[in-house]
């Protein structure tokens, strides 16, 4: 109950200060536009089809070998491949949203001197941190889902027939609804851990941003064909993220030292 | 039984001792003022009492229950703590600020509790204003309303009138007096001696250790005795010897005024007046003079008096 009480405050605060969400909106927009630029706009403007380039042969071969995508024409297969690879970029949207908010969750309270009266209530450290994390995570995931819906709608509207169905599949849904939120949660918890110990929101943001590095690596590995995000790989990533989150929650509670926050922060 | 009891509270931060061996009890319907210079340990003491930080040594009891790590959250619900800064959420309205706290305290009918509290504190017409838009006095009022929303039996107030204009400060004093009428135990930490003079039943002077604890009148009597001042129509110097007698331990003259330390002004005044008149003095006024609480406070800090019984 107390978690929801503080969560309602966090969301009300966000409604009054939506600008804090701008980095996430920009990230989401770029994540949506970039693959369309590569798969649709560039071929349209240059008049050269992607399937004419040997660079994308791997995509055509891959989709021909799978029963569900065998009916795609060569251009559609390449489009499906590009849209699937760039789907990982959408995962950055909730992370960017979470990061822009999370760093201020504890530090902001301290700077506004609103943490001491809050700590004087019966709220526990777990409840406080849970509300802070959810307050950043839920809007970020909401934005991410909205971006995914726009992404799918745009694919349905402008991509070749059949590409939409390739994207609207368990693999894509797992990336957006599992890897995205869990990676955002890792970033958030890192930021909250750091923001419990420092007085500078930027330090917390930088630490949380570290999560972007392995995801970027994954994106590159995927594009170069070194890694394929098959369902077993996704399950493995999800398991690792779950473990990381469980560990970070424990560390976060241990690091959130009420006494230090009250007596050492000036 | 005391509502709030501090027993030998000591708090160290590394090698620095912020509070040492502080003991006192607070009864329902009592306003207890904690005085002390900056860095004397007042806020640290309040934080220990509010269950925000643990004492290094000693214990806090609420309604007879010793506060521990296990029950601190529950006991915090019995305490209302007005922190030094209002600490309102600026982007939330007054109503939203209070509603979140009503929910944090698990009040059954939150809307009614918030409405009733806003009514009580005269902020109902400001319910939909954002906290950032409020004046300092109003913010303090909202913070006080927030501290009392859950109707705690114990109220800890850290500098409640600091930085307020005289009118707002008077309003806050009125609210503090109302808390006493409601039989709540109020602990007031302040630098404002005038405020303490007006509202406090007992005063504690703290300078890391407890320097003194008593009623303002008892502290005055203990440090200064009772002063009787007699103004004459002529120079007072020649009448010093006439003034000294039974119950008058000391007399001094300054211009036309004789000042005497007496054990009881009401009992001794008639005999003193008789002796002075017999000696030829023309008396204009006779008054018992009380040293201000500021004089008492400064004398206590200078003398470093050892603690009195709480």
Q: Which of B13, B45, B89 is the best substitution to test chain A (most A C-beta atoms within 10 A)?
A: B89
CB nearest A122 (choices: B47, B73, B143): B73
CB nearest B90 (choices: A5, A112, A119): A112
Which residues between 112 and 171 in chain B have a beta carbon less than 8 angstroms from any beta carbon of chain A?
Answer: 130, 143, 146-147
CB within 8 Å: A122 and B76 = yes
Cβ atoms within 10 Å, residue B54: 17
DSSP codes joined into one string, A29-95: HHHHHHHHIIIIIHHHHH---GGGSGGGHHHHHHHHTSGGGTTS-HHHHHHHHHHHHTHHHHTHHHH
Q: What is the largest CA-CA distance in chain A?
A: 68
* The pLDDT of residue A68: 67
User: Rounded to an integer, what distance in angstroms lies between the CA atom of residue B289 and that of residue B154?
Assistant: 35
Q: What residues of A are in contact with residue B41 (Cβ under 8 Å)? A: none
pLDDT tens readout for residues A4-56: 999 999 889 888 888 887 888 888 888 899 999 988 998 889 888 888 877 77
Start-to-end Cα distance in chain A: 31
* The pLDDT of residue B308: 46
* The pLDDT of residue B169: 85
Contact A60, A51 (CB under 8 A): yes
User: Rounded to an integer, what distance in angstroms lies between the CA atom of residue B37 and that of residue A77?
Assistant: 77
Q: If we measure between CA atoms, which residue out of A201, A193, A84 comes closest to residue A133?
A: A193
Class of the CATH domain delimited by B4-214: alpha beta
Q: What residues of B are in contact with residue A118 (Cβ under 8 Å)? A: 87, 104
CB contact set of A26 (below 8 Å; sequence gap of 6+): A96
The CA distance from B146 to the nearest CA of chain A, in Å, is: 9
CB nearest A116 (choices: B54, B83, B92): B83
With 0-12 / 13-18 / 19 or more C-beta atoms within 10 angstroms meaning exposed / middle / buried, residue B14 is exposed
Q: What residues of A are in contact with residue B85 (Cβ under 8 Å)? A: 113, 116
Start-to-end Cα distance in chain B: 14
The CA distance from B304 to the nearest CA of chain A, in Å, is: 27
Q: Which of A14, A121, A126, A264 is the best substitution to test chain B (most B C-beta atoms within 10 A)?
A: A121
Q: What residues of A are in contact with residue B96 (Cβ under 8 Å)? A: 9, 12
Contact B307, B211 (CB under 8 A): yes
Which residues between 24 and 53 in chain B have a beta carbon less than 8 angstroms from any beta carbon of chain A?
Answer: 44, 47, 50-53
The CA distance from B301 to the nearest CA of chain A, in Å, is: 25
To 10 degrees, the CA torsion angle through B262, B265, B268, B270? Answer: 140
* The pLDDT of residue B310: 41
SS (HEC) of A141-197: HHHHHHHHHHHHHHHHHHCCCCHHHHHCCHHHHHHHHHHHHHHHHHHHHHHHHHHCC
The domain B221-291 having CATH identifier 1.10.540.10: the answer here is no
User: Rounded to an integer, what distance in angstroms lies between the CA atom of residue B181 and that of residue B202?
Assistant: 16
CB contact set of A213 (below 8 Å; sequence gap of 6+): none
Local mean pLDDT, 10-residue blocks, chain A (266 residues): 90 85 84 90 87 76 70 83 84 76 74 88 88 88 90 91 85 86 85 72 66 72 72 88 90 77 64
| Per-residue b or e along B274-310, where b marks 16 or more CB atoms closer than 10 Å to that residue's CB | ebbeeeebeeeebeeebbebeebbebbbeeebebeeb
The count of domains in chain A is 1
| Per-residue b or e along A128-137, where b marks 16 or more CB atoms closer than 10 Å to that residue's CB | bbbbbbbbbb
Chain A nearest-CA residue for B82 = A117
CB within 8 Å: A112 and B89 = yes
CB nearest A113 (choices: B81, B85, B105): B85
Q: Is B103 on the interface with A (CB under 8 A)?
A: yes
ipTM of the complex: 0.79
The CA distance from A128 to the nearest CA of chain B, in Å, is: 10
Interface list for chain A against chain B, based on CB atoms closer than 8 Å: 1-2, 4-6, 8-9, 12-13, 16-17, 112-124, 258-259, 262-263
User: Rounded to an integer, what distance in angstroms lies between the CA atom of residue B218 and that of residue B221?
Assistant: 5
User: Rounded to an integer, what distance in angstroms lies between the CA atom of residue B213 and that of residue A170?
Assistant: 72
Contact B53, A258 (CB under 8 A): yes
Helix (H) / strand (E) containing A5: helix A2-16
Helices B94-104 & B136-148 angle (0-180, nearest 10): 20
Q: What does DSSP say about strands B79-82 and B154-158: parallel, antiparallel, or unpaired?
A: parallel
Helices B94-104 & A2-16 angle (0-180, nearest 10): 160
The CA distance from A201 to the nearest CA of chain B, in Å, is: 18
Question: What are A251's two structure tokens?
Answer: 């560390």
C-alpha triplet B97, A262, B142: angle, nearest 5°: 25
CB contact set of A86 (below 8 Å; sequence gap of 6+): A31, A34, A35, A38
User: Rounded to an integer, what distance in angstroms lies between the CA atom of residue B214 and that of residue B63?
Assistant: 22
* The pLDDT of residue B259: 87
Write down the residue that tokens 């770029």 correspond to.
A30
Q: If we measure between CA atoms, which residue out of B205, B218, B196, B215 comes closest to residue B303?
A: B205
What one-character DSSP code corresponds to residue B130? B
Q: If we measure between CA atoms, which residue out of A252, A172, A239 comes closest to residue A208?
A: A252
Contact A201, A108 (CB under 8 A): yes
Q: Which of A6, A12, A122 is the best substitution to test chain B (most B C-beta atoms within 10 A)?
A: A122
Q: Which of B55, B81, B93, B104 is the best substitution to test chain A (most A C-beta atoms within 10 A)?
A: B104
The CA distance from B128 to the nearest CA of chain A, in Å, is: 13
* The pLDDT of residue B309: 44
Q: What residues of A are in contact with residue B13 (Cβ under 8 Å)? A: 263
CB within 8 Å: A13 and B89 = yes
CA–CA distances in Å: residue B115 to residues A4, A80, A147, B119, B128: 21, 58, 41, 6, 12
Domain-wise residue ranges, chain B: 4-214, 221-291
Per-residue pLDDT of chain B (310 residues; tens, 9 = 90+): 668 999 999 999 888 999 999 999 999 999 999 988 888 899 999 999 999 999 999 999 999 999 998 898 889 999 999 998 899 999 999 999 999 999 999 999 999 999 999 998 889 999 999 999 999 889 989 999 999 999 999 999 998 888 778 888 888 888 899 999 999 999 999 888 888 888 999 999 898 998 888 888 777 777 777 788 899 999 999 988 888 876 677 788 989 999 888 877 788 888 889 989 999 999 999 988 777 777 777 877 777 655 444 4
Q: What residues of B are in contact with residue A3 (Cβ under 8 Å)? A: none
As beta bridge partners, residue B81 has B156
CB within 8 Å: A117 and B81 = yes
Q: What residues of A are in contact with residue B87 (Cβ under 8 Å)? A: 112-118
- Structural domain range at position A154: 2-264
Write down the residue that tokens 């690879």 correspond to.
A85
Query: Rg of chain A over CA atoms, in angstroms?
Result: 21
């Amino acid at each position: 109950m107390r978690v929801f009480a503080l969560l309602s405050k966090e969301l009300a605060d966000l409604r009054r200060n939506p600008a804090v969400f701008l980095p996430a909106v920009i990230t989401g927009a770029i994540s949506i536009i970039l693959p369309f630029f590569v798969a649709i706009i560039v071929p349209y403007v240059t008049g050269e089809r992607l399937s004419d380039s040997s660079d994308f042969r791997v995509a055509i071969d891959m989709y021909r070998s799978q029963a569900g995508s065998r009916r795609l024409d060569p251009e559609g297969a390449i489009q499906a491949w590009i849209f699937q690879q760039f789907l990982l970029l959408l995962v950055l949207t909730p992370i960017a949203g979470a990061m822009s908010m999370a760093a201020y969750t504890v530090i902001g309270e301290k700077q506004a001197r609103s943490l001491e009266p809050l700590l004087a209530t019966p709220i526990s450290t777990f409840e406080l941190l849970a509300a802070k994390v959810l307050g950043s995570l839920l809007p970020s995931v909401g934005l991410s889902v909205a971006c995914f819906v726009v992404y799918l709608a745009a694919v349905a509207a402008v991509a070749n027939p059949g590409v939409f169905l390739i994207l609207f599949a368990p693999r894509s849904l797992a990336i957006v609804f599992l890897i995205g939120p869990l990676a955002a949660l890792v970033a958030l918890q890192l930021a909250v851990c750091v923001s419990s110990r420092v007085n500078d929101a930027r330090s917390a943001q930088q630490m949380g941003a570290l999560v972007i590095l392995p995801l970027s690596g994954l994106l590159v590995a995927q594009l170069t064909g070194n890694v394929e995000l098959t369902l077993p790989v996704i399950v493995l990533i999800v398991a690792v993220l779950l473990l990381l989150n469980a560990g970070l929650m424990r560390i976060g509670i241990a690091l959130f030292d009420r006494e230090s926050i009250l007596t050492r922060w000036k | 039984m005391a509502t709030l009891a501090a027993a030998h509270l000591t708090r160290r931060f590394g090698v620095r001792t912020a509070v040492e061996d502080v003991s006192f009890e607070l009864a329902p319907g009592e306003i207890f003022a904690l005085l002390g210079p900056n860095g004397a340990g007042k806020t640290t003491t309040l934080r220990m009492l509010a269950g925000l930080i643990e004492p290094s040594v000693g214990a806090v009891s609420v309604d007879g229950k010793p506060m521990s790590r296990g029950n601190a959250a529950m006991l915090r619900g019995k305490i209302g703590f007005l922190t030094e800064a209002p600490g309102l959420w600026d982007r939330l309205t007054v109503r939203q600020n209070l509603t979140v706290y009503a929910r944090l305290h698990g009040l059954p009918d939150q809307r009614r509790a918030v409405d009733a509290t806003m009514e009580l504190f005269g902020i109902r017409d400001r319910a939909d204003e954002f906290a950032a838009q409020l004046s300092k006095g109003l913010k303090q009022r909202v913070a006080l309303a927030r501290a009392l929303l859950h109707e705690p039996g114990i109220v800890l107030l850290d500098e409640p009138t600091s930085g307020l204009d005289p009118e707002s400060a008077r309003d806050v004093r009125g609210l503090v007096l109302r808390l006493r009428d409601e039989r709540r135990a109020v602990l007031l930490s302040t630098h404002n001696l005038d405020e303490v003079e007006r509202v406090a039943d007992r005063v504690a002077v703290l300078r890391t250790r407890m320097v003194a604890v008593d009623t303002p009148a008892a502290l005055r009597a203990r440090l200064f005795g009772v002063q009787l001042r007699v103004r004459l129509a002529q120079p007072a110097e020649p009448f010093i010897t006439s003034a000294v007698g039974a119950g008058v331990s000391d007399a001094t003259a300054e211009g036309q005024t004789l000042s005497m330390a007496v054990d009881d002004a009401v009992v001794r005044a008639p005999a003193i007046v008789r002796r002075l008149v017999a000696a030829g003095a023309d008396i204009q006024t006779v008054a018992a003079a009380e040293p201000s609480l500021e004089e008492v406070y400064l004398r206590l800090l200078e003398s470093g008096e050892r603690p009195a019984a709480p």
